[in-house]
Chain A
Amino acid sequence: MSDERDREEREPGPPLIGAEGGPVAAQTPAARLAAYVRGGGVIVPVITATLAFLLGGLVVLLTGNDPIATYEAIFKGTGLQWLFPWVTGEDRTTAALNLQQTLILTTPLILVGLAVAFAFRAGLFNIGGQGQYIAGTIMAVWVGSSFSGMPGFLHIVLAMVAACLAGAAWAGIAGLLKATVGANEVITTIMLNYIALWIGVYLFSLGGPLQNDRDPNLPVSNDIVETAQLPVWWGDPVLQGLHIGLFIALAAVVVFWLLLNRSTIGYEVRAVGLNPDAARYGGMSVGKNYVLVMAVCGAFAGLAGSLDILGWQFRLATNDIQTSQIGFLGIAVALLGRNTASGTVAAALLFGALVSGTSQRNLDPSIFEPELASNLTLIIQGLVVLVVSADVLVLGFVRRARWLLRGRRRAVKGAAP
């Protein structure tokens, strides 16, 4: 009866997750996540997002604004109404422009989301998406602005590969520290974020080694060579249309899925994430996997950086580096997307739309102060992280309530005769 007993001891009281009486292995974060994904399906992230938006609406209400009007305005700003066939004429033109912006933001979010999700599948928390993203942008802007005269296609590929390698190396440091001295990757990746940030600021600030050659008063990089810019396939390149980076990000999603579910590397990654002892017993090197996983994560985040640089930024200023939040948004994306390939895409679109919809350009000041609107994004982002982390609890409460209810019914039945 050993395994029945094991279950009961792991979960005294009503089982939190999984079928009642079902196993709840909770040794590693990844194992917990696996149990949790099985328990909640696709419904829970939808509830999570809704809950976050409702709480966000409450915040809007507290600031003395109308939440419904605000959300409506935000939705308009996302351009998603372009998908509705009945939107026509000038509205449609504006919507198209807005949707292009939304998708431009979605592109890197998908990739930084993957960077967090891949680590999570190996039982690691990669909080360093931001630093890895910065490493990628620095490398992309350097390669993209050098080597002028190179054939465009080759130049773009070179810049992207270099950015991937930079991100991979940066994240690999955290993996290596974890594998060799057991340093917690949460701490090291956070610290590496700061190091990347300030290295970037140093490189492009006044007198910095990579500061531009044109204007010594501007803390900004050289522009990337025109032929190294990603082609725009939707909208006007002058008006910042949608570049082909979105397809590269979607291709990365496919790579992520194949790597994780169809390759021996992914098999090892998942085994290490779910049960490191069994992985070691199966002949895998857990430490080597930690380094590899972090490097892959860094490559995803670095690629995100290169797409932003080559796709629409074309240069990097010190205050770009300092204000960027994209890597952190990636954590919320991965959490809401349940660290799955498709979930990450959906969550990235949601956050891309949110950031785009709350941008100052889009929001009518009479409905909500635009200066505050981007803070609303941050609030909703924070709420998502909070609710996602808590929705294991939410699930638990639901089960507990059901269980208590049954108990009461039983008691009533018992008292009746």
Chain B
Amino acid sequence: MSAEAPALELRGITKRFGPVVANDGIDFDLRPGEVHALLGENGAGKSTLMSILYGLYHPDEGEIRVDDQPVKVDSPSRAIELGIGMVHQHFMLVPVMTVTENIVLGGEPRRRGGLLDVREGARRVRELSERYGLAVDPDAAIEDVTVGAQQRVEILKTLYRDARILVLDEPTAVLTAQEANELFEVLGALKRDGVAIVFITHKLGEVLEIADRITVLRRGKKVDTVPAEGATEQSLARLMVGRDVLLRVEKPERAPGEPVLEVEDLHVRDDRGLEAVRGVSLTVRGGEIVALAGVDGNGQHELVEAIAGLRDAEPGGHIRIAGKEVCGRGVRATTDAGVAHIAEDRQLRGLVLDFTLAENLALREYRSPPLSRHGWLNIGRMNSRARSLLHEYDVRGGSAGTLAGSLSGGNQQKVCIAREIASNPQLLIAHQPTRGLDVGAIEFVHRRLVAERDAGRGILLMSLESEEVRSLADRILVIYEGQIVGEFPPDASEEELGVAMTGGGAGRSVA
């Protein structure tokens, strides 16, 4: 394989944003039929490099070569012409249009008179999807298919445009374990067909599973390119972070106390009015981490929103925080009763990006002294409190007056976590607390959650990462189609959990 000419070569790519060097003389090559993983922490420069490849940014220095020819990629359309396809993490699809319509968008097959040839489009889509095992229904509307299927549509979109170089930007971040495995099978088929694949990620496990070679970036520089064979999670983590990282969470035995959250017979409807949570009862005690595991879309989202007071439950159910009924009382009453909620999406909900960090850190407590008195804010207090929290949670890249939007994702998440824990809750809901974070930041968040558990708080953890669930949780509840279908100890095997999460088998009870 090594004798083959590279399908793509980046030589000495440098990109500066003002004083910040996002990419510093990066070399990267990609052979036909290989999966080359691009690994790095948040802000290491992976996305910038790929944006340059896709014509979204222009390099300040360096050269791009496709099939041994120097090329100038000055726009995404030029990139597509060159056979480069990109699948972004956030999909670029039109929800109300069908799979076929989305795929042919921009390159529609036409009949005479300029009419769209739907049948020809659907035929080509079906042909491509069969060839690579990308199962999709060409006539289904995008909004009706799963996230995994939407991703397959994105891949089909690039193949429809004859892409030979496929860039996948953190493709598994939105997928369940099963869907990720399906994706890996598809990538295998593409590889065999000679498609060259760049796989951007910061998840070590899957890199070892899927990649042939791995290039690690750190702070805009290439650290090394290594073959996947012989690499270990530890060795990659060291390359990424530049130090040894604790991949496993160390936690002492739990000492559960009084129940802080009691949910009884809760029914919740989703945005479409369908019953998403169908009679859930659960208890979280102080001093324990209870994880809610499940395939995305099985009601955990609605359940969390109901517990946090953001969504109304059907009458008849109960949510009690430390014995106090809060069901249907709204966010404020729920917060006052002692619930903190690390939101699933820090940018959409957890933060006001155009607020300063001091303002964001006040979001839970701006109404009460000392942050405000008689309706007037105490700006000095807000700032001094922000400074101490930013210090305590090691938030880098900003001070109290910095806008939240200018921080990196990991630091934004630290701000959210700092705020929620600072409100001194009885129950801490952690919804995907490490989503999009690099290993260093994940380590920090995990340690902090365990510390809060040991301090006697109850923690309800929601995560799509089964690794995270099993390493953090004291008990695992599996939710399937809006019901708790089983309870597992943290040492349950991935298979056991996987079966329960997809509706098979009965749960094992913890003593």
Using CB atoms and an 8 Å cutoff, list the residues of chain A in contact with chain B: 1-6, 8-9, 12-13, 19-23, 25, 31, 34-35, 262-265, 267, 270-271, 274-275, 277-283, 285, 407, 410
A264/B42 in contact, CB under 8 A: no
The residue in A4, A8, A277, A281 that gathers the most chain B C-beta atoms within 10 A of its C-beta is A281
Which residues of chain B in 342-363 are interfacial with respect to chain A, using CB atoms and an 8 Å cutoff? 343, 347-355, 359, 362-363
Task: Please encode chain B, from 276 to 309, with 1 for each CB lying within 8 Å of some chain A CB and 0 for all others.
Answer: 0000000000000000000000000000000011
* Interface flag for B129 (CB, 8 Å): no
Given known A-B contacts A2-B436, A267-B377, A283 and B405 have beta carbons under 8 A apart: no
Specify which of A1, A13, A20, A23 is in contact with B47 (CB 8 Å cutoff): A1
Which of B16-24, B144-152, B208-216, B255-263 contacts its partner?
A: B16-24
Closest approach, in angstroms, between the C-beta of B423 and any C-beta of chain A? 11
List residues of chain A with CB within 8 A of the CB of B31: none
Contact of B375 among A13, A264, A282 (CB under 8 A): A264
Ordered by A's residue number, 29 sampled pairs between the chains whose C-beta atoms are within 8 Å are A1-B41, A1-B44, A1-B202, A1-B436, A2-B170, A2-B435, A3-B347, A3-B412, A4-B408, A5-B47, A6-B409, A13-B56, A19-B18, A20-B17, A21-B18, A31-B353, A264-B372, A267-B366, A271-B355, A271-B363, A278-B349, A278-B350, A278-B352, A280-B331, A281-B310, A281-B331, A281-B341, A282-B363, A283-B330
Closest Cβ neighbor of A266 among chain B residues: B377
Residues of B within 8 A of A271 (CB): 352, 355, 363
Whether the Cβ atoms of A267 and B409 lie closer than 8 Å is no
In the complex the two chains form, what is the Cα distance from A34 to B74 in whole Å?
Answer: 30
Report B-chain residues with C-beta under 8 Å of the C-beta of A278.
348-352, 363
Contact A21 B375 (CB under 8 A): no
A12, B76: Cβ atoms closer than 8 Å: yes
User: Per-residue 0/1 for B53-64: is the Cβ within 8 Å of any A Cβ (1 yes, 0 no)?
Assistant: 000111010000
Asked whether, in the complex, the Cβ of B406 is within 8 Å of the Cβ of A23, the reply is yes
Which residues on the A side are within 8 Å of B332 (C-beta)? Answer: 283
> Which of chain A's residues have a CB closer than 8 A to the CB of B349?
275, 277-278, 280-281
Interface residues of B in 125-156 (CB under 8 A from A): none
Question: Is the pair A283, B372 in contact by a Cβ cutoff of 8 Å?
Answer: no
A-B pairs with the 6 shortest C-beta distances? Answer: A2-B436, A21-B17, A3-B409, A23-B405, A2-B409, A283-B332
Whether B399 is near chain A, meaning CB under 8 Å from some CB there, is: no
Neighbouring B residues of A34 by C-beta, 8 Å: 354
Q: Which of A2, A13, A265, A280 has the most CB of B within 10 A?
A: A2
Q: How far is the CB of A414 from chain B (nearest CB, A)?
A: 9
Given contacts A1-B44, A282-B364, 15 further A-B contacts (CB under 8 A): A2-B89, A2-B170, A3-B409, A5-B88, A5-B89, A31-B354, A263-B375, A264-B367, A267-B362, A271-B355, A278-B349, A278-B350, A281-B349, A283-B331, A283-B332
Instruction: Determine which residue in B60, B202, B403, B405 has the highest number of CB atoms from chain A within 10 A of its CB, and name it.
Output: B405
Contact between B376 and A3 (Cβ–Cβ < 8 Å)?
no
Q: Is the CB of A410 within 8 A of B58?
A: yes
Residue-wise interface mask of B (212-248) relative to A, using a CB-CB cutoff of 8 A (1 in contact, 0 not):
0000000000000000000000000000000000000
Chain A nearest Cβ from B79, distance in angstroms: 12
A279 and B362 CA atoms in complex are apart in Å by 12
**For the complex, is B335 an interface residue (Cβ under 8 Å from A)?**
yes
Residues in B with CB closer than 8 Å to A275 are 348-349, 351-354
Q: How far is the CA of A225 from the CA of B231 in the complex (A)?
A: 91
Q: A1-B409, A277-B348, A283-B330 are in contact. Are A25 and B353 (CB under 8 A)?
A: yes
B62 → A minimal CB distance (Å): 11
Contact B352 A283 (CB under 8 A): no
Q: Given A19-B18, A265-B375, A267-B366, are A281 and B51 also a contact pair (CB < 8 Å)? A: no
The distance in angstroms between the C-alpha atoms of A285 and B437, with both chains bound, is 31
A283 close to B56 (CB less than 8 A): no
Cβ-defined contact, A1 with B376, below 8 A: no
A410→B372 CA distance, assembly (Å): 54
Q: How far is the CA of A21 from the CA of B15 in the complex (A)?
A: 11
Given A20-B18, A281-B341, does the pair A12, B56 have CB atoms closer than 8 Å? yes
Residues of chain A within 8 A (CB-CB) of B409 are: 1-4, 6
| Bound: A282/B361 CA distance, A | 11
Measured CA separation A4–B335 after assembly (Å): 31
- B window 53-107: CB within 8 A of A: 56-58, 60, 74, 76, 88-90
Tell me the minimal C-beta distance from A119 to chain B in angstroms.
17
B25 CB-CB contact with A under 8 Å: no
How near does chain B come to A221, taking the closest CB pair, in angstroms? 38
Residue of B202, B341, B347 with most chain A CB atoms under a 10 A cut-off: B347
- Give the Cβ gap from A216 to chain B, nearest Cβ, in Å: 50
- B377 contact from A19, A20, A264, A282, Cβ within 8 A: A264
Query: In the complex, what's the smallest C-beta–C-beta distance from A126 to chain B, in angstroms?
Result: 20
Residues of chain A lying within 8 A (CB to CB) of residue B343: 281
A263 & B58 in contact (Cβ 8 Å cutoff): no
Contact of B180 with A by CB under 8 A: no
What are the residues of chain A within 8 A of B350 when measuring CB–CB?
278, 281
Contact A8 B56 (CB under 8 A): yes
The yes or no answer to B383 lying at the interface (CB within 8 A) is no
- List the B residue with the shortest CB-CB distance to A11: B56
Are the C-beta atoms of A283 and B18 separated by less than 8 Å? Answer: no
B42 and A2 form a contact (CB under 8 A): yes
The answer to the question of B118 belonging to the interface, with a C-beta cut-off of 8 Å to chain A, is no
Q: A13-B56, A23-B353, A275-B352 are in contact. Are A8 and B377 (CB under 8 A)?
A: no
Known: A263-B375, A265-B375. A25 touches B42 (CB 8 A): no
Cβ of B189 within 8 Å of any chain A Cβ, yes or no, is no
Q: Which residues from 183 to 202 on chain B have a C-beta closer than 8 Å to any C-beta of chain A?
A: 200, 202
Q: In whole Å, how far is B91's beta carbon from the nearest beta carbon of chain A? A: 10
Contacts of A35 in B (CB 8 A): 354
Question: In whole angstroms, what is the CA distance A282 to B173 when docked?
Answer: 27
Minimum CB distance partner of B75 in chain A? A13
A19 to B408 Cα, complex, angstroms? 15
Determine the distance from Cα of A274 to Cα of B405 in the docked complex, in whole angstroms. 12
Give the Cβ gap from A292 to chain B, nearest Cβ, in Å.
Answer: 12
What is the minimal beta-carbon distance from B380 to any residue of chain A, in angstroms?
Answer: 11
Known: A6-B347, A8-B56, A282-B364. A1 touches B406 (CB 8 A): no
Closest B-chain residue to A282, C-beta based? Answer: B363
A280 to chain B: which residues have CB within 8 Å?
310, 331, 349
Contacts of B367 in A (CB 8 A): 264
Residue B40 interfacial (CB < 8 Å): yes
Indicate whether B157 reaches chain A with its CB closer than 8 angstroms.
no
A262 contact from B89, B379, B405, Cβ within 8 A: B379
Q: In the assembly, what is the distance between CA of A8 and CA of B43, in Å?
A: 12
CB distance from B238 to the nearest CB of A (A): 19
Is the C-beta of B204 less than 8 angstroms from some C-beta in chain A?
A: no
Contacts of A9 in B (CB 8 A): 88, 90
Residues of A within 8 Å of B363, CB to CB, are 271, 278, 281-282
Is B322 in contact with chain A by the CB < 8 A criterion? no
Partner of A25, one of B58, B330, B354, B377: B354
Q: Which of B156-190 contact A (CB under 8 A)?
A: 169-170, 173
B331 touches A274 (CB 8 A): no
- Give the interface centre of A19, A267, A270 by most chain B CB atoms within 10 Å: A267
Q: In whole Å, how far is A286's beta carbon from the nearest beta carbon of chain B? A: 11
Q: Give B351's nearest chain A residue, CB to CB.
A: A278
The answer, yes or no, to whether B122 is at the interface (CB within 8 Å) is: no
Complex-state Cα separation, A384 to B292, whole angstroms: 55
Decide: A1 and B43 in contact? CB cutoff 8 A: yes
A contact residues around B347 at 8 Å (CB): 3, 6
A2 with B437: CB separation less than 8 A = yes
List the A side residues contacting B351 at CB < 8 Å: 275, 278
